[in-house]
Structure 1
Amino acid sequence: MLLALLVVVGSPWVQRLLFDYYLDHHTWLFSDEKTAMFVRATFMPSWQYSPRYYDGVHHLVAADLMTLLLFAGIVLLPSRLPARVPRWLRCVLGGVLASVLVNLLLWAAPDLVDPDAADWRFSGEVLGPLVRSALVFGLAVGLLLALLTAGAGRNGRTARRHVRPQGHGLVAPQERGRIGMQTVPTTVQRPMPVGSAPGDVTRYLCAAAYTDEGFADRVVEEVLADEAGAVAPSPGVDLKAVVDHCLNAREIRHRRDLHLTGAFVLLALTAPLWLVLAMVLLNITRSAGVRPSLAVRGRTHPERRALVKTGITAGFAVLLAFYIGAVVSSVPMPAFVSWLFGAYLAGVPAALAALCALAFAYATVVRHDLGIDRLLRTTLTRGTFGRMRSARPGRPRPQWIADRIAAVAEAQEGNVTVYSGYTPWIGYSETRSKWLLTVPLLPADDPVGTKARPAAPRPFTVTELVGHVRERLQAAAAHGAAGDTAEAGAGALGSLVVEDRIFVNGTTVKGDERFAGTSRRTPAVRLSAETVEQIMLRPTGTARHCLAVHVPLWGGDVVPSVLLHFATTGRTLHLHIDVHVLGPVHGAYHSVDRLRGDLTPEARRGLLMDALGHTGRALFGAPFRVRRHASLDARHRRRTVDELKAMRQDPLYDHGARVSIREMALSPEYHNYFQVVDADEITLMVERHTLAAMREFLDSHGYDTADFRAQQQTILNQGVIQQGGTSIIGNQAIGTGATATQNLPQQSGAAAPSPAGGSTT
C-alpha cells in the first residue's frame, strides 16, 4: 500500500502539479525555507516514462533507477536493522537512511540525472537542502510505514497468556497447569514434531548448533568462554555433546565464511557501491520464485517451475547489471567516484565482479547447506544419533577449550548449583508454583498441650526425614517402572531422578573452603556427603540444600522438577516446595525429525530456494563473523586477565552461572496439549508422595499429624472452582450450642416452595 502511494505521488501527473505549484510560489518559498523544504521533499519519489524531460534516455534510466533504489531501501532496510530495535523505530530509521543515501548519491554524482547540474557535485550549499529534504521525506514515509505495519506484529504471532502465581501462599492444583509457560494459540499452527525417545532433547540441541547460528555462538561465547563462571544444570541434557556440536558447527560455518569473505572483498575492491546493487539484484531474483503455499496442515516443497522462474529472473538480472554499468560509465565523474560506482571500463568489471561474487556466494551457501543436511541425516536423526553422540573436532582445539569442556562434563555430574543474582533456580526454568508447609512438632497424644504426656516422641534430624522421603519417591518410581500401579502417569516415574543439590550464591563462595574447586578459577561442582549433610542440618546463609526431583518426559523435551527444602526451627518443621517445568525447545530445532532417508529431488529444490533467501545475509555478514571467530582466543586471553584481576581485587566476585544452555533454547509455547497435562500429573504425584512420606515419618516418630492433615486438606480444597451458575449457601452454625436460622426468599409461580419444603405443584 505504501509503495502504491509513493508511485502515485511520484507519477508524472502528480509531480507536474507539484512542480507548477513550486514555480508559481517560488519567490515566497525562497523566503520561507521551512515550507520549501517540505515541498522539495515531495519531489523525491519522482519517476518519468518519457526522455523529453531529460537529456537522453540514459539520464531517464538513471533517475528512475534512483527512485527504484529509494523504494527498495524503504522496503528492505527496516528488516535489516537489529531485531531488538522496536518495529516502529526500524521503519523510521529505514525510511530516513534510504532517503539520505539516495540524496547523497545525487549530491555526489548529479550528472547521472542532469548534465547541467555539474556544479552541484560536492557543493556545501546544495548538501544542506538535500539532507533536510531527505530527512523530512524519510521521517514521513517511516512513520507511515510504521502505522501501516502496526498490526502485523500482533496478528502474525501467536498470542500467549501467561498466568503467574500471586503471592507466596498455596496454589490450587487445578490452577497449576495455567501457570508459567502454557500458551493459548490463536493462529493456525503447522504440524510440529515432538520428542518421544530418551535423549531427544539432547539431539535437538545438537541439531540446533548447525541450524541456528545464534544458539551455537551463545553457547561458545557465554558458557564455554566464561571460565570463571559456574555451569548451570540442564536436567535431561548431555551438555558435553551439545558443546561439542556447537564447536563443530562454528568450524564448518567458519570455512564457509572464509570463502564468502573472498567474494565480498572482490566486489568491495572492484566497486564498493555495487554491494548495495548486488543485494537488490539478489532480492529481485529470490522474490521471483517465491509463491506462498496455501497449505496450512503441512509443508510443501517448491515445484520445478519455481526454479525455472528464478533462473529466468536471474538472466534478466544479469542483463540489468550490465546495462546499469553502461549507464553509470557514460556519466563523467572524478576518478574516486568512478571507482565507487564502478564506472570505469564501461562498467564491465563492476558488473562482472558483482555477478561472479553473487554466483560464487550462492554456490558456497548451497554447498554448505547440502553438507549440513547430509550431516543431520547421517548423525542426528533418531536412528543414528546414538552411534556418534559427540562431534569429532575438525582440528586440534586450544587447551583452554578442552579444559572448559571437561569442566562442563564435570558440572553435569555435580550436585552444586552456583547461581548469580536473586533467583537460585537457574537451569530449571521459572517457578511455576510454590508453597510453604509449616508443621508444629507436638506429641501425638496431646496436640494442644493440655494433658500429661506418657512418653516423649522420638527426636529426628532433617537428614533422616530427607532420607525417608527419598526412599519413598524411589520406591514409587520403581513401582511405576514395573507397571505395578494403575495410577495416572505413574509409568513416567520410571525415569524419575532424585538427587541432593546445594544452591549457593556466586558472590559468597570466595574464601569458603567447602566450595574450593580443583581450579582456582571456578568453585567446586560436587560436595561430599558429609558436607551436604552439614548444610542440610544448618540451613543458614546463602548455601541451602534441596531434594531435587525431576522426570524427563517427551524425550526430555518437557522436564517437570520439584525442589523440596526441609528445615526445622525449634519445635516446628518447615517444607518449601518449588515446582518448575522446563518446556520444549524451539519448534525449529525439531525440524531434524522431518528428515527421512536420503535427500529427495523435491527437498533439494526447497533447499536451493531457501539458500537464495539467506545468501545475501551470509555474504554481507561473513567478514564480521570471520573477524570475530579469529579473535576468539585473543578475546578470551584478555577476558581471563581481567577476570583474574577482578578475583584478586573484588571480595564479592561473582562465580555464579548466568545462563543455562537448556533455557537458551526454551520455546515460548508448548507444542502439544498433553505435554502440560503430563507435567501436571508428575508434579502432583511427587507432591502427594512427598506429603505421604512426611506423614508416615511423623506418625512413626510419635508426632501429632492433625495439623499436617488439615493443611493437606486445605491444599485440596483450594482446587474447588465454580464456573458459571449460581451457588446459594445458607446460614452456617459452628461450635457447640450454635444455631442458624434459614430464611427462604419468597418466590411466585410453580417454583415457589411449599411449607413442607417441596414444590407447590
Structure 2
Amino acid sequence: MSTLDMTPGAQIPRTDVGNQTAVTQALSSAAYRTGEYKELEGLAGVKWKPGRSELFRPSAGEAFSRALIDRTLSAKRLPLVPSFGTDARMVVEHCLAAQDLRDARDRQLSLITLVFGIAFLPGALIWLAAYQAKAWLGRNRSAARDGFYGTLALLLACGLALLFALRPPVSGPWSLYVRVMMLAPVAGWLLAKRIVVRSVLAQRARWGDLVGGNPVAATVPKAVPRDHLDKQAVDLKAALDRLGAEQETNIHHYAGSKGILGVGARWGDWGLREDLRPAEGHEDFRVFHTADLTRRIIERLGRLTSSEVPNGGMPKATITQWVVQDIPEGADEIGRPGGADMDQFRMRDFAVQEVANRQTFGSDPRHRIAIQYVLHKGQLVTTMLVEVVVLHNNLQVHVTGHALGPLVPWFGAKPKPKEKDIPKTFRRWENQTVQLPLVDDDEVVRQAVRAPFHRMPTLLTFLGGSIGLPEPFCMRQAWTDPTWASRFKSDDAIYASTPVVNTIHASVLEFLAEHDISIERFTNRSNILKSEMQGSRPYRVDKYDAG
C-alpha cells in the first residue's frame, strides 16, 4: 500500500534564500500590487488582452498573480527558462498567498452582493449601468468632459433612487420593494467598502514589507494535502515541486543575439588556442579526453574562495556543467530532450560527460562549464562559461562572460498614498497637494462585481481581461535593466572575470604539463590574454558585424 507524502511543503514559510533575497522579494511584491493593470503594460514583453467589460478589470496584482500562476503551474504549460538569482518557487507561492487573501475578501463580498445586489437586482443593475458608463467614458484620457459625463451618469442614478424612494411607480406591497430597491445597493456598498479597505491595507502592508527588505512568509495552506483524497492539494504541491526541480535543469538554450536564455547576452570573450605538441624529451604526449580537462578546471575553480591575503577570497560560486542547445532567435518556445539520458529536467552525469567527450563541431548540443556568482542580493548575476574543444591537434579553451542586471525600477517601487495637485482656493496660480482616499467608489464596485466569480478565474479573464507574458518566459531575465547602468555592478562583473580566467589557464597549463605536452606556446598565449584583460571593456559579442 502506497503512503501519501504529508509533509507541510509549501505551508512552511521559506524566507532564507541567501543572495537571492532582493530580487525574489521585489518580484513577489508584484503579487500584492493594488494599482491599475495599466501599470503592467510598461513592462517589456507584457501584452494586455482586453476583456468584455471595464467593471470586471483586474488590478495589477490580480493580473500579475493570475498570469504567473497559469504560466508556471499549469499542467500543459510550456517549459520555463531558469531564473538565476531568483527563487522562482517562492515568487509563485507569494502569488498563491496573495490570491488566498483576495479569495477570503471575495467570499465576504459575495455574501454582500447576494444580499444587497441580487435580492434587489433591478436597482443594482441601474447602479452598475451608471458605473459601466463612467468606466467606458474614462477609457479616453483626452478629456475632462469624459469625467463630466461619467459623473452625470451617477447623478442620474442618484436621481432615480430618490424618485423611486419618494414616488414609487407602483402601489401596494410592491411599492415598498421599489422604494428600497435603489437604496439597498448603497447600503451594501458601504459595508463592502469596509471590507475592501481592510483588504487593500493588508496587501499594501505585505507589498511594503517585501520591497523594504523585511521577510514575509508565503503561506499556502491549500498546497498541503489534508488526507489521501485531497487531490487538488496534491496536484498543487506536485506542480510547485515540479517548478522547483525545473529551475535546477542543466539544459540551456542559445537564442542568437539574445545569448543563452536566462544569463543575458555575452559581454566578453577570451580564447586560448594552440597546437598540442610533445614536450621536449618526449616523442609523443599522453592521450587524454576533454572531460578529463574539464574536471581539472572545475576542481581548480573551487579554490577561488581562498586567498593568501586575508578576506581576499572570492564569494562562493555555483560551478556546474551545462548542455547548451541552439534555437532560433525568434523562437517563442524551448524544448528539452527526453529518453534514458534525462532524469526529469536534468541530463544525467554520464550523458553530460559523453557530450563533453564527443566531437560536437558542426553539431549540437554543446558542453559548457558554468561559473556563476549571485551578487548584490541577486541584483547582479555574473556567469562565466568555459568550452573545451579539440580540433585535430589544436586545443581551444574559450571563456565567455555574461551579466544579468538588476530588475526594472517598477518592481522596487514602494506603496505611496494617493495624492493630487489642485489650485489653491484664493491663489489659483499656486498648487497644493491633497490626499485622496486610498479606495475610491469605483474600486469598491469593481471588487464587489468580481467577487461572486472568484472561483471561476477563466470567466473573470474572459470578462475583465488578462496579461500575456514574454516568451520564452524567464522570470528573472524578462524585466532587467542593463548591468552597465550601475557602476558597482558593472565593475564587479568585469573584476570577477580576471581571476576566473587566470585560474582556468593555470589549470589547463598544469593538466597539459602532466600529459607531457609542451606548454611554452600556451603560456605565451595566456600571458598575452592577461595583458589584454588589464583593459577589459564590455562589448556586444553576440552581435556580429557581418554584412
- State the match for 2:518 in structure 1: 703
- State the match for 1:404 in structure 2: 239
State whether residues 258 and 622 of structure 1, in contact with CA within 8 Å, keep that contact through their aligned partners in structure 2.
no
Distance 2:451 2:392 in 1: 60
1:564 equivalenced with 2:386 (yes/no) = yes
Structure with higher Rg: it is 1
Q: CA deviation at 1:440?
A: 2.2
Of 289, 292, 298, the residue aligned with 1:470 is 298
Q: CA deviation at 1:404?
A: 1.5
Higher strand share: 2
Structure 1 pair 669/473, CA: closer, same or farther in 2 (3 Å)? Answer: closer
State whether residues 69 and 95 of structure 2, in contact with CA within 8 Å, keep that contact through their aligned partners in structure 1.
yes
Counterparts of 1:87-486 in structure 2 under 5 Å? 199-211=21-33, 213=61, 214-225=63-74, 227=76, 229-257=78-106, 262=113, 269-276=125-132, 321=154, 325-326=158-159, 352=183, 359=190, 362-375=193-206, 382=213, 384-385=215-216, 388=217, 391-393=220-222, 397-417=232-252, 425-434=260-269, 436-445=271-280, 454-479=282-307, 484-485=308-309
- State the match for 1:679 in structure 2: 493
Distance 1:419 1:626 in 2: 46
Q: Over residues 33-55 of structure 1, what are the superposed CA-to-partner deviations in whole Å (9 max), with x where a residue is unaligned? A: xxxxxxxxxxxxxxxxxxxxxxx
State whether residues 224 and 234 of structure 2, in contact with CA within 8 Å, keep that contact through their aligned partners in structure 1.
no
Unaligned runs of 5+ in 1: 1-194, 284-316, 331-337, 339-343, 446-452, 518-523, 600-605, 636-656, 723-761
Distance 2:319 2:472 in 1: 24
Structure 1 pair 237/325, CA: closer, same or farther in 2 (3 Å)? Answer: closer
Measured on the aligned residues, the alpha-carbon RMSD in Å equals 5.0
- State the match for 1:611 in structure 2: 438
Distance 2:507 2:80 in 1: 33
Distance 1:683 1:417 in 2: 21
- Counterpart of 2:473, as a letter, is V
Structure 1 pair 196/713, CA: closer, same or farther in 2 (3 Å)? Answer: same
Distance 1:398 1:352 in 2: 42
| Local SS of the residue matching 2:346 | coil
Distance 1:278 1:673 in 2: 48
Structure 1 pair 371/673, CA: closer, same or farther in 2 (3 Å)? Answer: same
Distance 1:708 1:633 in 2: 67
Distance 1:325 1:617 in 2: 19
Distance 1:403 1:324 in 2: 50
- Counterpart of 2:365, as a letter, is A
Distance 1:710 1:239 in 2: 42
Distance 2:248 2:152 in 1: 62
Counterparts of 1:548-563 in structure 2 under 5 Å? 548-563=370-385
Distance 2:334 2:157 in 1: 63
State whether residues 134 and 153 of structure 2, in contact with CA within 8 Å, keep that contact through their aligned partners in structure 1.
no
Distance 2:266 2:184 in 1: 56
Higher helix share: 1
Q: CA deviation at 1:441?
A: 1.8
1:495 equivalenced with 2:316 (yes/no) = yes
Distance 2:86 2:476 in 1: 7
State whether residues 437 and 575 of structure 1, in contact with CA within 8 Å, keep that contact through their aligned partners in structure 2.
yes
Tell me how many residue pairs correspond in the alignment.
430
Q: CA deviation at 1:551?
A: 0.8
- Counterpart of 2:309, as a letter, is T
Q: CA deviation at 1:571?
A: 0.8
| Local SS of the residue matching 1:551 | strand
Counterparts of 1:704-743 in structure 2 under 5 Å? 704-706=519-521, 709-710=524-525, 713=528, 716-717=531-532
1:535 equivalenced with 2:342 (yes/no) = no
Distance 1:355 1:663 in 2: 47
Distance 1:324 1:627 in 2: 25
Distance 1:197 1:394 in 2: 26
Structure 1 pair 373/322, CA: closer, same or farther in 2 (3 Å)? Answer: closer
- What is the percent sequence identity of the aligned residues? 20
Distance 1:629 1:545 in 2: 47
Structure 1 pair 685/662, CA: closer, same or farther in 2 (3 Å)? Answer: same
Distance 2:505 2:379 in 1: 27
Q: CA deviation at 1:552?
A: 0.9
State whether residues 404 and 482 of structure 2, in contact with CA within 8 Å, keep that contact through their aligned partners in structure 1.
no
Structure 1 pair 399/462, CA: closer, same or farther in 2 (3 Å)? Answer: same
Unaligned runs of 5+ in 2: 1-16, 34-59, 140-149, 164-168, 170-174, 226-231, 327-332, 418-432, 462-470, 538-547
- Counterpart of 1:532, as a letter, is V
Distance 2:394 2:450 in 1: 61
Distance 1:672 1:508 in 2: 34
Distance 2:404 2:259 in 1: 15
- Counterpart of 2:393, as a letter, is R
Q: Over residues 435-487 of structure 1, what are the superposed CA-to-partner deviations in whole Å (9 max), with x where a residue is unaligned? A: 54433223345xxxxxxx643223322122112211221101233xxxx4379
Q: Over residues 91-127 of structure 1, what are the superposed CA-to-partner deviations in whole Å (9 max), with x where a residue is unaligned? A: xxxxxxxxxxxxxxxxxxxxxxxxxxxxxxxxxxxxx
Q: CA deviation at 1:327?
A: 8.5
Q: Which moves more between the two structures, 579-588 or 262-271?
A: 262-271
Distance 2:76 2:383 in 1: 28
TM-score (norm 1): 0.47
State whether residues 502 and 543 of structure 1, in contact with CA within 8 Å, keep that contact through their aligned partners in structure 2.
yes
| Local SS of the residue matching 1:661 | coil
- Counterpart of 2:317, as a letter, is L
- State the match for 1:449 in structure 2: none
1:662 equivalenced with 2:490 (yes/no) = no
